[in-house]
């Protein structure tokens, strides 16, 4: 096939090796299920309640055993041919003789859920029905073991609420999904972090009636765990997350022992929503969010701030297995720029399993103050048979132990290694660690990297210190930026740049076409610069806005100038899978939600998922996959946490890098998003994330930095929100200063879809394409007035074309 023929002509050509379609195919669905089993986390397993003994009778309670939530809503949702619930999973196991179920219970929940769905609602957003007494009696007579399933749903454009929010009206109907917010308020009296009254009643009834209760959580983010942690009757708990298309089968695999769980939490599960420092002010304003907890996010907060550790129910990195492992550190090698720690992991239990070794470093408090410890490396074993051992080597770059000094306590705007002792810990959770006897001593304060101030705050009054007190920030001015100028740009819906006729080439019937077409650049016949010289300023600007959709794509394209042979390259969402609108009739594979994938701690597996997902993207003639999404889980309340990986930037960055490698191995562009600080959905297009430069660099930008340096994503999507008074998409310090200047990013940047930014200012900042449409007229007006130069326009256009050249 000719280069870019897929994008130009949309031929429906399967790419499977034997000529079959890969999209939504068996092999991908099986990979999705395997990944799901590997990322589910076993939180509790008293007296080896799990796995269920072969043939064990169980009673399934909770409408969630049918009302299965495969993933969240919005752009992180996909159209699948079907989904498999836990009930279906257990029925399969019953057919295989591995368990035995009470049919009347399944029938009750199936009918109830069907009836509630018929009234029109989203999965997970229906009421827990009251359990009929006779059914409970039948179940009690049938077995002593109950399985309770609880599910949750959240999505793009709305956040999870807290009880005090119930009465408030959402102010910004335009970008907030008020319908879902209202539904949530009606279903969950205390906010959906906690059980609803109806769920609590069901749980209490089941707890009283059965001696063994197993809980399965089908959720996309942090939820309350205090209702089972210390409750004796609840003997086992599986954090099953939202497991994609066949998540219910994966849950059953684990419950029945066909798979041994090896997932580890990528977030800290605290004893209440209020225990997270971000909760108190999360909903304070729709206009801004103040990141006053600074770098103390997740376990960095709970492990460091006095008194907070006792609020942890399940620590970061935690997850049980059906077997046991011994982790023995065997070598500590100090090299000039890195430290290598070798460990031997031995399976000392009776069944095969995998273990995740985590390496944390505790830096001296020094002048800057530090988290008690930080994850610096991790590695997962292969499947180890009982008695088998594996040696793993974890490496830590010495420079990664430095902290960013944004206030000049040691050296302003520099990463500094403070003098003192750096202690190393290894283990299988942030709470189960052994300290190594070897340490790293830094004799005197050392500047590792001198940078410049970028994206500094001026509306953040204070930030938390390691002892839990706050320091006032001198940079506070109290004068907000005026962002009113772009009001006129808001509200466009369809791409503004006219499509060129798709079939008819514009030069047909003319005497002569252009000297060079893009294919000539691809084939080395002409340089990019010479090629670009042919285009008028207006034609160049046309390349800097989104283009009309073709084929099955519903998030529009980029490129699209037939005169010069520039294809209209389509985009599609991620991260849940290839997202194609239902009416197109193309079902795709729903991968487990991103948080589950991260909980696998298995980079090779995540890479495989990226590769498989990208094949579906390519088969459907799309060139840019809008994934991975890697914002930090700052608060359990963010409605899109299911699309993101972790509270920890190392995990987020490593998982993103693996995903990007997988995707781009198929010559499909990954679009890492949302850059940056999109940690809240409410009024996301106009909310100002006020955050210190240190927290930006050490927490919120760090994952992006790691992935840029490790995996070279071909595109990055800026976020809707404002960062310290400047929109991400118009933020030159962020895009040109940090992303390109400091990290050496070579790819292309797009806005998020329909941003409120002013197009010419986005171009000047280094945001190459305004999606999903550009405003050529406004950019040309700015050009005519001398506000923007041709050179600035060319730089962006060149990066768009260089991205297209990488696609095949
Ligand atoms: C979302 C992005 C998504 C884009 C295209 C936006 O609303 O924030 O994550 O990729 O739409 O669907």
Q: Measured from the CB, is residue 269 less than 6 Å from ligand 1? A: no
Would you report the helix, strand and coil content of the chain in percent, each value rounded to 5? 30, 20, 45
The arithmetic mean of pLDDT across residues 218-247, rounded, is: 97
**What residues does 346 pair with on adjacent strands?**
326, 389
Burial class (CB in 10 A: 0-12, 13-18, 19+), 712: middle
Q: Measured from the CB, is residue 626 less than 6 Å from ligand 1? A: yes
Nearest CA to ligand 1 atom 12: 75
pLDDT in tens, 412-421: 999 999 999 9
Expressed in angstroms and rounded, the spacing between residue 800 Cα and the centre of ligand 1 is: 19
Within 8 A by CB and 6+ apart from 103, the residues are none
pLDDT in tens, 274-325: 999 999 999 999 999 999 999 999 999 999 999 999 999 999 999 999 999 9
Nearest CA to ligand 1 atom 6: 753
The arithmetic mean of pLDDT across residues 598-609, rounded, is: 98
| C-alpha span between 291 and 281 (Å, rounded) | 9
Residue 172 confidence (pLDDT): 53
Residue 161 confidence (pLDDT): 82
752 is catalytic: yes
Burial class (CB in 10 A: 0-12, 13-18, 19+), 53: middle
Residue 502 confidence (pLDDT): 46
Provide the 8-state DSSP code for 353: B
Within 8 A by CB and 6+ apart from 741, the residues are none
Q: Work out which ligand 1 atom sits closest to the CA atom of 684.
A: 8
3-state secondary structure of 282: helix
CA–centroid distance for 753 within its chain: 18
pLDDT in tens, 635-673: 999 999 999 999 999 999 999 999 999 999 999 999 999
pLDDT band at 20 (very low <50, low <70, confident <90, very high): very high
Within 8 A by CB and 6+ apart from 28, the residues are 22, 589, 612, 615, 616
Residue 545 confidence (pLDDT): 95
3-state secondary structure of 769: strand
Residue 538 confidence (pLDDT): 95
E-assigned strand segments in 157-257: 212-218, 234-239
Expressed in angstroms and rounded, the spacing between residue 442 Cα and the centre of ligand 1 is: 45
Residue 491 confidence (pLDDT): 46
The arithmetic mean of pLDDT across residues 602-622, rounded, is: 98
pLDDT in tens, 84-112: 999 999 999 999 999 999 999 999 999 99
CA atoms within 13 A on the CB side of 550: 25
| C-alpha span between 556 and 564 (Å, rounded) | 20
> Is the Cβ–Cβ distance between 573 and 579 less than 8 Å?
yes
Nearest Cα residue to 270 out of 230, 238, 302, 317: 302
Nearest CA to ligand 1 atom 11: 753
Is the pLDDT reported for residue 713 higher than 50?
A: yes
| C-alpha span between 547 and 500 (Å, rounded) | 10
pLDDT in tens, 29-85: 999 999 999 999 999 999 999 999 999 999 999 999 999 999 999 988 999 999 999
Is the pLDDT reported for residue 471 higher than 60?
A: yes
**What residues does 378 pair with on adjacent strands?**
358
Residue 181 confidence (pLDDT): 86
**What residues does 320 pair with on adjacent strands?**
42
pLDDT band at 511 (very low <50, low <70, confident <90, very high): low
Q: What is the mean pLDDT of the chain?
A: 94
Higher confidence at residue 511 or residue 194? 194
Residue 163 confidence (pLDDT): 80
| C-alpha span between 135 and 109 (Å, rounded) | 11
Q: Assess whether the previous peptide bond of 138 is cis (omega < 30° from 0).
A: no
Tell me whether strands 715-718 and 748-750 are parallel, antiparallel or unpaired. parallel
Is the pLDDT reported for residue 515 higher than 50?
A: yes
CA distances (Å), origin 445, targets 18, 364, 373, 416, 695: 61, 11, 19, 7, 21
| C-alpha span between 638 and 160 (Å, rounded) | 6
pLDDT band at 505 (very low <50, low <70, confident <90, very high): low
Expressed in angstroms and rounded, the spacing between residue 556 Cα and the centre of ligand 1 is: 11
| C-alpha span between 137 and 81 (Å, rounded) | 37
Q: Measured from the CB, is residue 716 less than 6 Å from ligand 1? A: no
Q: Measured from the CB, is residue 573 less than 6 Å from ligand 1? A: yes
CA distances (Å), origin 432, targets 75, 344, 355, 418: 37, 16, 13, 26
CA–centroid distance for 43 within its chain: 22
Residue 510 confidence (pLDDT): 53
Q: Measured from the CB, is residue 673 less than 6 Å from ligand 1? A: yes
Nearest CA to ligand 1 atom 7: 753
**What residues does 345 pair with on adjacent strands?**
327, 390
- The pair of structure tokens assigned to 616 is 């579906």
Residue 495 confidence (pLDDT): 58
| C-alpha span between 588 and 607 (Å, rounded) | 18
> Is the Cβ–Cβ distance between 564 and 613 less than 8 Å?
no
H or E element in which residue 42 lies: strand 41-45
Phi, psi values for residue 393, rounded to 5°: -120, 125
Q: Which residue has the tokens 């009234």?
A: 119
**What residues does 672 pair with on adjacent strands?**
716
Within 8 A by CB and 6+ apart from 773, the residues are 492, 493, 494, 495, 496, 497, 545, 546, 556, 754
């Amino acid at each position: 096939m000719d280069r870019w023929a897929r994008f130009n002509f949309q031929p429906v050509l399967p790419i499977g090796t034997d000529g079959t379609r890969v999209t939504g195919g068996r092999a991908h669905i099986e990979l999705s299920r395997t990944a799901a089993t590997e990322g589910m986390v076993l939180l509790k397993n008293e007296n080896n309640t799990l796995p269920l003994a072969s043939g064990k009778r169980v009673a399934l309670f909770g409408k969630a055993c049918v009302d299965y939530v495969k993933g969240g809503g919005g752009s992180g949702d996909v159209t699948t041919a079907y989904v498999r619930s836990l009930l279906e999973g257990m029925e399969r196991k019953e057919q295989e003789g591995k368990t035995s179920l009470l049919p009347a219970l399944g029938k009750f929940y199936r009918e109830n859920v069907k009836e509630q769905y018929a009234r029109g609602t989203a999965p997970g957003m229906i009421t827990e029905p009251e359990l009929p007494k006779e059914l409970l009696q039948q179940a009690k007579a049938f077995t002593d073991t109950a399985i309770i399933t609880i599910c949750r749903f959240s999505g793009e454009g709305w956040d999870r609420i807290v009880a005090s929010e119930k009465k408030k009206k959402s102010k910004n109907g335009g970008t907030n999904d008020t319908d879902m917010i209202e539904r949530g308020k009606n279903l969950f009296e205390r906010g959906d972090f906690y059980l609803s009254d109806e769920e609590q009643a069901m749980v209490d009834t089941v707890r009283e009636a059965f001696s063994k209760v197993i809980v399965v959580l089908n959720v996309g983010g942090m939820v309350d765990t205090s209702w089972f942690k210390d409750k004796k009757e609840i003997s086992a708990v599986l954090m099953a997350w939202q497991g994609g298309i066949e998540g219910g089968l994966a849950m059953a695999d684990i419950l029945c022992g066909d798979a041994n769980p090896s997932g580890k939490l990528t977030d800290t599960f605290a004893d209440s929503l209020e225990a997270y420092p971000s909760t108190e002010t999360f909903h304070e304003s729709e206009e801004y969010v103040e990141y006053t907890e600074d770098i103390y996010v997740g376990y960095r907060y709970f492990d460091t701030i006095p008194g907070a550790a006792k609020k942890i129910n399940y620590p970061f990195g935690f997850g049980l297995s059906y077997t046991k492992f011994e982790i023995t550190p065997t070598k500590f090698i100090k090299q000039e720029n890195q430290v290598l720690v070798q460990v031997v992991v031995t399976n000392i239990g009776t069944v095969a399993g995998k273990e995740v070794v985590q390496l944390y470093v505790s830096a001296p408090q020094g002048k800057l103050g530090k988290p008690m410890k930080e994850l610096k490396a991790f590695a997962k074993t292969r499947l180890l048979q009982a008695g088998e051992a594996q040696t793993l080597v974890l490496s830590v770059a010495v420079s990664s132990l430095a902290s960013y000094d944004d206030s000049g306590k040691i050296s302003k705007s520099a990463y500094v290694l403070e003098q003192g002792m750096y202690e190393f810990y290894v283990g299988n959770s942030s709470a189960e660690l052994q300290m190594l006897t070897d340490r790293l001593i830094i004799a005197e304060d050392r500047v590792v990297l001198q940078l410049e101030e970028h994206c500094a705050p001026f509306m953040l009054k204070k930030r938390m210190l390691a002892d839990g007190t706050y320091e006032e920030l001198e940079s506070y001015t109290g004068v907000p930026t005026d962002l009113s100028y772009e009001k006129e740009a808001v509200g466009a819906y369809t791409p503004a740049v006219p499509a060129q006729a798709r079939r008819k080439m514009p030069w047909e019937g003319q005497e002569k076409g252009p000297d060079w077409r893009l294919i000539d650049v691809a084939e080395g016949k002409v340089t990019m610069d010479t090629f670009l010289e042919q285009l008028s300023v207006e034609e160049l600007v046309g390349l800097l806005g989104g283009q009309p959709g073709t084929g099955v794509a519903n998030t529009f394209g980029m490129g699209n100038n037939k005169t010069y042979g520039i294809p209209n390259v389509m985009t599609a969402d991620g991260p849940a899978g290839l997202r194609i609108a239902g009416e197109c009739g193309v079902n795709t594979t729903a991968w487990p939600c991103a948080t589950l994938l991260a909980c696998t701690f298995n980079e090779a597996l995540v890479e495989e998922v990226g590769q498989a997902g990208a094949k579906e993207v390519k088969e459907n003639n799309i060139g840019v996959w809008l994934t991975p999404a890697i914002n930090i889980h700052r608060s359990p309340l963010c409605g899109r946490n299911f699309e993101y990986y972790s509270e920890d930037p190392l995990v987020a960055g490593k998982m993103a890098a693996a995903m990007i490698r997988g995707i781009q191995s198929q010559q499909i562009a990954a679009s890492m998003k949302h850059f940056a600080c999109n940690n809240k959905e409410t009024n996301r297009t106009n909310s100002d994330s006020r955050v210190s430069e240190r927290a930006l660099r050490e927490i919120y930008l760090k994952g992006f930095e790691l992935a840029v340096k490790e995996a070279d994503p071909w595109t990055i999507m800026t976020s809707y929100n404002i960062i310290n008074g400047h929109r991400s998409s118009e933020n030159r310090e962020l895009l040109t200063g940090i992303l390109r200047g400091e990290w050496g990013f070579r790819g292309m940047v797009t806005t998020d879809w329909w941003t409120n930014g002013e197009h010419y200012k986005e171009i000047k900042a280094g945001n190459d394409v305004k999606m999903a449409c550009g405003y050529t007229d406004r950019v040309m007006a700015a050009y005519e007035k001398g506000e923007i130069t041709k050179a600035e326009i060319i730089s962006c256009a060149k990066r768009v074309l260089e991205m297209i050249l990488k696609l095949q």
